[in-house]
Structure 1
Amino acid sequence: MDTILSINNLTKKFGYLTAVKNLSFTIKKGNVYGILGPNGSGKSTTLGIVLNVVNKTEGDFHWFEGNTSTHDALKKVGAIIERPNFYPYMTAEQNLKLVCRIKDVPFSKIHEKLEIVGLLERKDSKFQTYSLGMKQRLAIASALLNDPEILILDEPTNGLDPQGIHQIREIIKQIAAKGTTILLASHLLDEVEKVCSHVVVLRKGVKLYSGRVDEMISSHGFFELKSNKKEELIALLESHPSFGNIKVADQLVTAFLNEPIKSEDFNQYLFSQGIILTHLVQRKESLEEQFLQLTDNNQN
């Protein structure tokens, strides 16, 4: 599979602040990547570096197997890293014609891209009459005009209402389905879980996880347990190879599985050990629970 972008030990310091620290990951063609982390985790800085907007301090990155200069590579990239900025008194079509001239792209692309983002019927409306969601969709159309191999989006649904968020996510899925690689930065776990195939989790500029979203949430889940013999239950779980992390909150014991176990088999086993459960629920972990585990385990 072709490598679109490889980032190697990238570091960016702003004075005493290290915004990105020894970051490495690779983006392969045809996937949707999410850079996930809270505000201040280094997502936008990372995108700024690979787009030549921010200078790196250390490390390096290569576009398209390193066979082309960054300047030439960026001609094959579409990016939205700031709020959409078009001329308010011009129509959507007029604004996109300007972008076509800058990118040296034929005007014939305009209707095709407006249709993708659902704005073809509003092509003659002035930009200032657009809602925030429509402005964001026009920005996506603009970024697609040069038929980029990769589309980069920084917090694409920020500030939008639920309908606007849904529309943007559906558009991202449609673009990806046609083979365009996508890299999006988001602080929303829900967004990454619904849209992305791969995720890089950042916290304070440090990578906590990199890999497939489904592998991150393909753990064997966990049991939520209660028993009148809580201490004996915890001791048994901690010594049992099938269990990893054990969390206790008041009377509820949460036991994360290292391997699949059926709840009825587990219940029977505990009974044979003289432990009777008053509560037993088996659940799968969501990306949010995985994310919280990652960030909990990496506190400074």
Structure 2
Amino acid sequence: MIRHTYNSTPKNQFVNTILTINNLTKKFGSITAVNNLSFSIEKGNVYGILGPNGSGKSTTLGIVLNVVNRTSGDFHWFDGSGTTHEALKKVGAIIERPNFYPYMTAAKNLELVCKIKGVASDKVHEKLDVVGLLDRKDSKFSTFSLGMKQRLAIASALLNDPEILILDEPTNGLDPQGIHQIREIIKKIASEGTTILLASHLLDEVEKVCTHVVILRKGESLYTGSVDGMNASHGFLTLRSQDMSALKGALEGNKAFGTIKTEGDSLIVYLNEPMDASEVNKMLTDKGIFLSHLVKRKESLEEQFLELTKNK
């Protein structure tokens, strides 16, 4: 079973830290959208903030991008020596639907963004190529599909060669082909050294694209760590015996076993450490408990996510 883990970065180790969030809280009246959230983002990784709609993902991004005021806690970019305004010049972000002039071409729209951002326009063709739109550089924005509009928005966010790219639900509303294209672009950008932070309610997205994940439910962090760490769950057992109370008693208090719960006429037992079914069977037999049913399964990432985010 997943254990709650939290990243912490000593104050003297900022070399590879892009963003540090400490005990961040945001309240809207009586509603707590973000609750005592802490995590850090290290250079060169792809981080996913994962959670159901309303879990606080967009609010968290809004706070670190200075468009939402925090209630308490703090955050800082990079080594924390400069202002947030200065730091955000090294950040690229898309947190709303793409908003370009419909009757201007893709290239002209990006040239305008360059003027607004105060960066040279010689990056326009390069960034259009990154998102696979160079052949449509002279096409009007109004002729683009939703997926193409989103790809143009990503190109726009890359114009200042940011150290980190922030994306809020980047594949929302897209068809399967559009989703695949955006995910491939994210992987490509990450492979070239840009750190990425994306918010998503799609487990599949995070599993396929991200190296690290922060799972939120009702504004609280339930898990912070690597995606591989979630996949490294030792699995769980489904057990049955004639004397179920004796079986449960034999399992409780053993550090090898985590959560134990009853489902129907079976016990579901999560493993804290690697253990073969045969080892469990022998251990219980030695205690005089004989099993009528024993199955070991690997807990899927989806099962872990649903277990973590269900209402409790």
Shift of 1:267: 3.5
Bigger shift: 132-141 or 283-292? 283-292
> Is the Cα–Cα contact under 8 Å of residues 206 and 213 in structure 2 kept in the other structure?
yes
* Cα distance in 1, alignment partners of residues 241 and 146 from structure 2: 52
> Secondary structure of the residue that 2:184 maps to in structure 1?
helix
Distance 2:261 2:177 in 1: 37
- Identical pairs, percent: 71
Provide the residue aligned with 2:223 in structure 1. 209
Please tell me whether residue 160 in structure 1 is matched to residue 170 in structure 2. Answer: no
Question: What residue in structure 1 maps to residue 291 of structure 2?
Answer: 276
Deviations 1:144-190 (A, max 9, x none): 11100000000111111122111111111111111111111111122
Q: Which residue of 2 aligns with 1:192?
A: 206
What CA deviation, in whole Å up to 9, does each residue of 1:114-137 have, x standing for no partner?
Answer: 111111112222111111111111
Structure 2 CA distance for aligned equivalents of residues 164 and 151 of structure 1: 19
1 CA distance for matches of 2:65 and 2:252?
Answer: 48
CA distance in 2 between counterparts of 1:37 and 1:44 reads 10
Q: Within the alignment, does 1:145 sit opposite 2:159 as a pair?
A: yes
Deviations 1:8-39 (A, max 9, x none): 22221222222112222111111111111111
Q: CA deviation at 1:112?
A: 1.3
Aligned to 2:280: 266
Matched, 1:118 2:127: no
**What does 1:1-300 correspond to in 2, within 5 Å?**
1-227=15-241, 230-271=244-285, 273-278=288-293, 280-296=294-310, 299=312
Q: Find the aligned partners of 1:221 and 1:23 in 2 and give their Cα distance.
A: 28
Flag the 1:239–1:60 CA change in 2: closer, same or farther, 3 A. Answer: closer
Give SS of 2:139's match: coil
- Structure 1 CA distance for aligned equivalents of residues 295 and 128 of structure 2: 48
Distance 2:70 2:232 in 1: 35
- Rate the CA distance shift 1:105–1:218 in 2: closer, same or farther, 3 A: same
| Cα shift at 1:271 | 4.9
* Contact 1:217 1:290 survives alignment (8 Å): no
The answer to whether the Cα contact below 8 Å between 2:239 and 2:291 also exists between their aligned partners in 1 is no
The residue identity in structure 2 corresponding to 1:134 is M
CA RMSD of aligned residues (A): 1.9
For 2:272 and 2:198, the matched residues in 1 are separated by 31
Q: Given the two structures, how large is their TM-score scaled by the length of structure 1?
A: 0.92
**TM superposition shift of 1:261:** 1.0
* Structure 1 residues 253 and 62, CA gap change in structure 2 (3 angstroms): same
Contact 1:267–1:277 at 8 Å: present in 2 too? no
Specify the code of the residue in structure 2 equivalent to 1:26: S
CA distance in 1, matches of 2:283, 2:36: 46
**Residue-by-residue CA offset, 1:190-236 (whole Å, 9 max, x unaligned):** 21122111111211112222222222331211123345554443343
Shift of 1:5: 1.0
* SS of aligned partner of 1:66: coil
Give me the TM-score of the superposition, normalised by structure 2.
0.88
The count of corresponding residues between Structure 1 and Structure 2 is: 297
CA distance in structure 2 between the partners assigned to 1:55 and 1:240 by the alignment = 46
User: Structure 1, unaligned stretches of length 5 or more?
Assistant: none
What 5-or-longer segments of structure 2 have no aligned partner? 1-14
Q: Give me the whole-angstrom Cα distance separating, in 2, the residues matched to 1:28 and 1:189.
A: 21
